[in-house]
A and B are shown apart, each in its own frame.
Chain A
Amino acid sequence: MNSWPALDRFLQTDPRDAGCDTAMELLHIYAEIAVADPRGAEQRHPEVAAHLRACGPCAEDLEGLLAAIRTDLTEQ
């Protein structure tokens, strides 16, 4: 462990990282699994999970989608 963990984490890259295009393509499928079983979503789509750990904008989009599902905004 070094004395600059934030920099260390930021510079780490995961070769499984799918990139934004693939994550955005699968985000609705990932979100429906993740809303009930986050771990299950990670296991089912490890390349998307790796991306979401590193990409703030895609992780933010997932949070928004999960919020919409949880609050049933689509069912009123």
Chain B
Amino acid sequence: MPVPDEWVRALSAGGVERERAAARLHEMLLRVARAEAGRRSGQLRISGPELDDLAHQAAADAVLAIIAKIGEFRGESRFTTWACKFVIFEVSGKIGRHFWRHPAVRLEPVDWDRLPDRFGLDPARESEWRDLVRALRRAVQEELTEHQRRVFTAIVVDGVPLDALAAKLGSSRNALYKTMFDARRKLRASLVADGYLHETLVRQS
């Protein structure tokens, strides 16, 4: 494998030299994409050729992204680690988009009965948490904006993966995470005010 400077020089060059470097990069990223798709195959309902096709698409798109951003590589890690990051992100994004291909998957009216199970609340002890869940539902309805409520219910109640929701809404992972961050903070404050949770300091590690 070329050393970092050689990767950058070759991928920044024109003609045959860049084509060769891009082919070597694609070969490496395809190995990583296949391994990553296999590692995450439990999140998917595909395997075999379809999973391999996803890996091929991820590797090809990652090569294009890397060539487009080659000027941003600052040598803060090995070039290959930096390059691998792109293909890992591509696999993530494609798995997110793939989520909606299954005919049984769609956003449906919120089934709030799922909420206790999402947080491991034991049905046998419902008398202990019934009021908490009621307070949480009230806070979701009253404290969150419409957008926060939509994102919260899709991710938490319906169990839609964040990347899949980002693909569905034409948003980004960062934007939806920020929406959820603000929603979590509001809901916690509400449950603390109602006496269901204690005010806690974040662990400094």
Footprint of B on A, CB under 8 Å? 2-4, 6-8, 10-17, 19-21, 24, 27-29, 31-32, 42, 46, 49-50, 54-58, 60-61, 63-65, 67-69, 71, 73-76
Contact = CB atoms under 8 A, between A and B. Distances in A.
Main secondary structure of the interface of A (DSSP, over half): helix
B120 interface: yes
Contacts, number: 131
Contacts of B191: 11
Interface residues of B, number: 50
Contacts of B1: 74-75
17 contacts: A6-B119, A7-B136, A7-B197, A10-B184, A11-B185, A12-B200, A12-B202, A20-B174, A50-B202, A55-B177, A57-B92, A63-B39, A67-B35, A68-B36, A71-B35, A73-B32, A75-B1
B70 interface: no
Main secondary structure of the interface of B (DSSP, over half): helix
